[in-house]
């Protein structure tokens, strides 16, 4: 049975006419696929609950949260546990060289330089800082041109001066850095996504990126926070959720199409990744669509 190709796991590049890109989410939204991108990301969730995986750390999403992610830090946001199903969030993408390649070397920007370095492990705003940043994010999202860049600088300045920015990832987590690593991880993840419905092995994917099996395992875990098999399962379950919510196919048909040949394995894996059963998930989506 042929499986429809799922979307790529990497964000589209920033528009050439935008140094600071703002994405507004105000709709029924289940979240994004696992991905990473060279731009830094600042995300404010005004409304919505679920879970997010940043690097090697899985956490609950809380309304009002603000997270800063460094370049090429793998992440995924999932809102499928949201009670209301309607998400309000602002996502800001920007390049560290937004004002030129050497602007961060200015002595006045020492604290901002340190902030962006810490962001390689992911940072989360806490305490009163969240409210102050949320107001500035609203202002930035409504601005354009130079005012938007000034708004970003004000946000970075405020975060760099605060002690309420807490690290998210474990100290040993390594975000994707070298261009060779980026290309290898890109090829590996694209191959897994395209063939997840098949019985693929770690060694098969390792061959695709010209690595040994054991070396690929260490490489993949260190750059994604997930084992090879965990990632395959995550891709399969994400596809199953899409089919459960958009088709009337039986659960058994969907399990087979997504690469699960035993229903016990499918149900166990689904509960692990979504904390519910496939049937309950389908009912929840159907109920939300009626509201």
Which of 195, 159, 214, 251 is CA-nearest to residue 2? 195
Q: Are residues 150 and 26 in the same domain?
A: yes
* Joined tokens for residue 240: 């199953």
For residue 14, tell me if it sits in a domain: no
Whether residue 186 sits in one domain with residue 230: yes
Count of structural domains within the chain: 2
Q: What is the pLDDT of residue 4?
A: 39
pLDDT of residue 10: 44
Rg over CA atoms, the chain? 20
Q: How many CB atoms lie within 10 A of CB 277?
A: 13
Q: Which domain holds residue 243?
A: 179-290
Tell me the pLDDT of the chain (291 aa) as tens digits. 333 333 334 444 455 567 899 999 887 777 777 777 889 999 999 988 888 888 878 788 889 999 999 988 888 888 765 445 678 899 999 988 877 778 888 888 889 999 998 998 899 999 999 999 999 999 999 999 999 999 999 999 999 999 999 999 876 676 665 556 778 888 888 899 889 889 999 999 999 999 999 999 988 887 777 889 988 998 898 889 888 888 899 999 999 999 999 999 999 999 988 888 999 888 877 776 565
Residues 217 and 275 in one domain: yes
199, 220: one domain: yes
Tokens 């793998």 locate to 74
Given 167, 190, 209, which residue is the final one in a domain? 167
Of 188, 90, 110, 219, residue with least CA distance to 156: 110
Strand partners, 75: 35, 54
Asked if 9 contacts 35 with a C-beta cutoff of 8 angstroms, the reply is yes
Q: What is the pLDDT of residue 8?
A: 39
CATH at residue 101:
2.60.120.280
Same domain as 81, residue 60: yes
Shared domain check, 247 and 272: yes
Q: In the listed set 114, 132, 167, which residue is the last one of a domain according to the structure?
A: 167
Q: CA 2 from chain center: how many Å?
A: 27
Shared domain check, 232 and 126: no
Please tell me the predicted confidence (pLDDT) of residue 60. Answer: 84
Residues 73 and 204 in one domain: no
Sign (positive or negative) of CA dihedral 257, 31, 23, 246: positive
Are 239 and 256 within 8 A, CB to CB? no
Residue 23 has what pLDDT? Answer: 92
Same domain, 51 and 163: yes
């Amino acid at each position: 049975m042929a499986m429809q190709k799922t979307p790529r796991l990497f964000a589209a590049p920033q528009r050439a006419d935008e140094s600071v890109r703002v994405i507004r989410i105000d709709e029924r939204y289940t979240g994004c696929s696992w991905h990473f991108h060279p731009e830094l990301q600042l995300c404010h969730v005004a409304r919505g609950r679920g879970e997010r995986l940043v690097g090697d750390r899985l956490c609950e999403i809380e309304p009002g949260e603000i997270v800063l992610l460094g370049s090429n830090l793998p992440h995924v946001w999932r809102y499928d546990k949201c009670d209301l199903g309607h998400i309000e969030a602002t996502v800001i993408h920007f390049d560290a060289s937004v004002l030129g390649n050497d602007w961060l070397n200015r002595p006045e920007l020492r604290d901002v330089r340190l902030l962006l370095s810490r962001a390689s492990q992911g940072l989360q705003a806490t305490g009163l800082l969240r409210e102050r940043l949320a107001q500035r994010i609203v202002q930035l999202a409504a601005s354009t041109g130079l005012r938007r860049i000034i708004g970003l600088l004000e946000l970075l300045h405020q975060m760099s001066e605060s002690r309420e920015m807490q690290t998210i990832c474990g100290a040993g987590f390594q975000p994707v850095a070298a261009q060779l690593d980026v290309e290898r991880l890109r090829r590996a993840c694209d191959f897994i996504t395209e063939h997840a419905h098949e019985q693929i092995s770690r060694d098969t994917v390792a061959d695709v990126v010209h690595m040994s099996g054991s070396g690929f395992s260490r490489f993949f875990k260190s750059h994604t926070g997930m084992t090879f098999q965990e990632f395959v399962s995550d891709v399969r379950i994400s596809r199953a959720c899409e089919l459960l919510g958009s088709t009337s196919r039986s659960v058994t048909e969907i399990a087979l199409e997504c690469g699960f040949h035993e229903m016990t394995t499918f149900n166990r894996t689904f509960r692990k990744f979504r904390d519910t059963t496939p049937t309950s998930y389908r009912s929840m989506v159907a109920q939300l669509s009626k509201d």
